[in-house]
Every structure is written in C-alpha cells, then in structure tokens.
Amino acid sequence: MRYLLCILILGCILSSASAQTRVVAECTVSYTIAVSNELQVDKDAVALLKQSTKTVYIKGNNSRSDLNSPSFSQSLIYNKTTGNAVILREIGANKFLTKLSATDWVKQNDKFSDMLIQFSDERKVILGYDCKKATIQLKDGSTFSVFYASAIAPSVKEFEFQFKDIPGFVLEYEAKDGYTQKITYTATKISLNPVPASRFEIPVTGYRLLNE
C-alpha cells in the first residue's frame, strides 16, 4: 500500500512538472538589440549594432536564427535530427555558405562546454511571460545572464548552444564583443503561427561555399 502511494505521488509530481512547461514546436520570435556601457573604440560598430535585429524561427526539429543589420546579414539553420548546421552570410553583394557537421558544430561551441548555471530568484515579465534569471559561467571564468520563461521551451535548443540546458525559452540574454561591454537581446514579439518549411531550405546556388 505504501509503495502504491509513493508511485501515485511520484506520478502527480511528474505530471505537474510536465504541465508547467509547454514545448513550443512552431514559433517566430523577434529580438531587439541594445548596447550599454559602451567603450568608444568603434562608434560605427556600436551604431551598426543598434540598428540590428534578430529573428528566431522554430519548426519541429528545425531552427533558423537571422541576424540582420544595414550592411550585413547572417542566418544559422540548424537541424536537431542530424546535428548539422549551415551558416549563410551576406556582405553587400557577396554571399557565403558554410556547412558544419554535428562534430563541427560541437567543436565550434567548445567554449560553452562545462559551463555552470546558477539560478536566481530574480524575475521579470517579458511579453506576458514570467521569466526567471540564470547566470551562466563559462570555463574561461566569464559570465552572462539570461531571463527565461519556464512555462514554455523551444523544441530545438542546441542552435543556441549556450542555452541548451536552460529549462525554458530564453527571452532575454547578454553577449559581449570587442567593442562593447554588454549587448542585450530582448524578445519583443512571439508568434505561434505555422512557419513555412521554406525557411529551412539550404540554397544550392548563389552562394560561395566556405570551409569553417
């Protein structure tokens, strides 16, 4: 009897945890990019970042992440089933394509291996979702924070390798580059409408193939 009661309690706990997080297999998420604590090293680069946007598309086991600016665009198409990725870059009239095998993709994201995640009680509401804060520490000692909605999670996480162990959908996060102290990506719109399969098609012409 006691054993049966334990099984029932465990089942209730698992059902409750499952109900709390809904896997989103079809969505489009738009992010704005903000620059703060600017180092006046390259004002043009900072201005360019401020004019840039990011859009993420999820469809089943496929994802696409577009970064667009006035003079440069980059798209990352990732297939969770194969683990392969393709990077498309457009600089002016020049178009480049890079193919990454599953092994290449893991190697490219090696800096995110063995990272530590610390969860906090700090929260904020983004697009109506209650988001929790987490701080990620990389093996080189650097840290950055994210805010994630625990009520939803993307069906593909590995395309944002640093977020693959975050228990929810990351709607705000920090990044750094050589020109600024901090760049913040914040989701401004989520659409759960179907995403056309054509978004994940790999171009066969018009791009120069590069080796990563």
pLDDT of residue 1: 47
pLDDT of residue 153: 97
pTM (2 decimals)? Answer: 0.84
pLDDT of residue 74: 95
Q: What H or E segment, with its residue span, contains residue 191?
A: strand 180-191
Nearest C-alpha neighbor of 35 from the set 160, 143, 165, 183: 183
Q: Which residues, 6 or more positions from 187, have their beta carbon under 8 angstroms from its beta carbon?
A: 29, 30, 31, 126, 127, 171, 172
First CA to last CA distance, the chain: 60
Q: Is residue 13 part of a domain?
A: no
Domain interval for residue 32:
22-210
Q: Is residue 5 part of a domain?
A: no
Q: Is residue 171 part of a domain?
A: yes
Q: Quick one: CA torsion of 175, 57, 166, 117, rounded to 10 degrees?
A: -10
Q: Is residue 15 part of a domain?
A: no
Do the bridges between strand 169-175 and strand 152-154 make them parallel or antiparallel, or are there none, so unpaired? unpaired
Output the six-digit token pair for 104: 């290449």
Q: Is residue 119 part of a domain?
A: yes
CATH code, domain carrying 196: 2.50.20.10
**How confident is the prediction along the chain (212 residues), in pLDDT tens digits per residue?**
444 434 333 444 344 444 578 999 999 999 999 887 655 555 555 565 667 899 999 999 999 999 998 888 999 999 999 999 999 999 989 999 999 999 999 999 999 999 999 999 999 999 999 999 999 999 988 889 999 999 999 999 999 999 999 999 999 999 865 555 688 999 999 999 999 999 999 998 999 998 75
- Distance separating alpha carbons of residues 194 and 86, to the nearest angstrom: 22
**Across-strand partners of 58?**
27, 63
- Distance separating alpha carbons of residues 40 and 71, to the nearest angstrom: 21
Q: b or e along 137-153 (b: 16 or more beta carbons within 10 Å of the residue's beta carbon)?
A: eeeeeeebbbbbbbbbb
Residue position matching structure tokens 């990620």? 136
Q: Is residue 17 part of a domain?
A: no
Q: How far is CA 23 from CA 55, 66, 89, 182, in A?
A: 19, 22, 30, 30
- Structural domain tally of the chain? 1
